[in-house]
């Protein structure tokens, strides 16, 4: 449906809620590889993002971080079946754009929680 649409001038895209002022936000609770790659390709001015990555999709996170140069904040679902906290931390540390300032992780699996020693 949205194959040939470029969102380079996107001001507001928040699903399923409406936003009263223009913002560069994208929120989805779908973990879809094609959708995630489309974000990187068609939303270069995105500033805030909530997204879910399946296990092994660090390359998609990297692509989003490299292509969405205005990205300031990202919220990511972690845990069993998804990217681990370590994978997210390492990828964000290596590829976050200059204005990036907020990372929020949601983890439903306590077995994947990073210890303070691992953060060093």
Instruction: Give the CA angle between residues 46, 61, 47 to the nearest 5°.
Output: 15
Lowest mean pLDDT among 4-8, 20-24, 36-40, 44-48: 20-24
pTM of the model: 0.69
In a domain, 100, yes or no: yes
Within-domain flag for 103: yes
Residue 117 scores a pLDDT above 70: no
pLDDT in tens, 29-80: 556 677 778 888 888 888 988 888 889 999 999 999 999 999 999 999 888 8
Give 73-109 pLDDT, tens digit per residue.
999 988 888 899 899 999 999 999 999 999 999 887 6
Give Cβ neighbours of residue 31 (< 8 Å, ≥ 6 apart).
52, 53, 54, 77, 82
- Is residue 70 included in any domain, yes or no? yes
Classify residue 65: in a domain, yes or no: yes
Choose among 33, 16, 41: nearest CA to 82: 33
- pLDDT of residue 17 exceeding 50, the answer is no
Report pLDDT for 1: 45
CA–CA gap between residue 76 and residue 57 (Å, rounded): 12
Q: CB-based burial of residue 41 (10 Å sphere; 0-12 exposed, 13-18 middle, 19+ buried)?
A: middle
Query: Within a domain: residue 30?
Result: no
Structure token digits, residue 41:
């390709």
User: Which range marks the domain in which residue 101 is found?
Assistant: 60-77+87-108
Domain-located, residue 33? no
Number of domains composing the chain: 1
Q: Give the closest residue to 35 by CA, choosing from 50, 48, 21, 24.
A: 50
- Residue 15: what pLDDT? 54
**pLDDT, position 92:** 96
Residue 41 has, within 13 A of its CA and on its CB side, a CA count of 12
């Amino acid at each position: 449906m949205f194959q040939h649409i470029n969102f380079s001038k996107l001001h507001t895209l928040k699903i399923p809620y409406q936003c009263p002022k223009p913002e560069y936000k994208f929120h989805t609770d779908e973990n879809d590889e094609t959708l995630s790659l489309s974000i990187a390709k068609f939303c270069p001015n995105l500033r805030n993002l909530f997204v879910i990555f399946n296990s092994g999709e660090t390359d998609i996170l990297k692509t989003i971080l490299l292509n969405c140069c205005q990205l300031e904040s990202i919220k990511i679902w972690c845990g069993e079946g998804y990217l681990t906290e370590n994978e997210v931390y390492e990828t964000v540390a290596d590829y976050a754009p200059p204005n990036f300032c907020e990372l929020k992780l949601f983890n439903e699996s306590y077995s994947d929680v990073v210890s303070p020693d691992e953060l060093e």
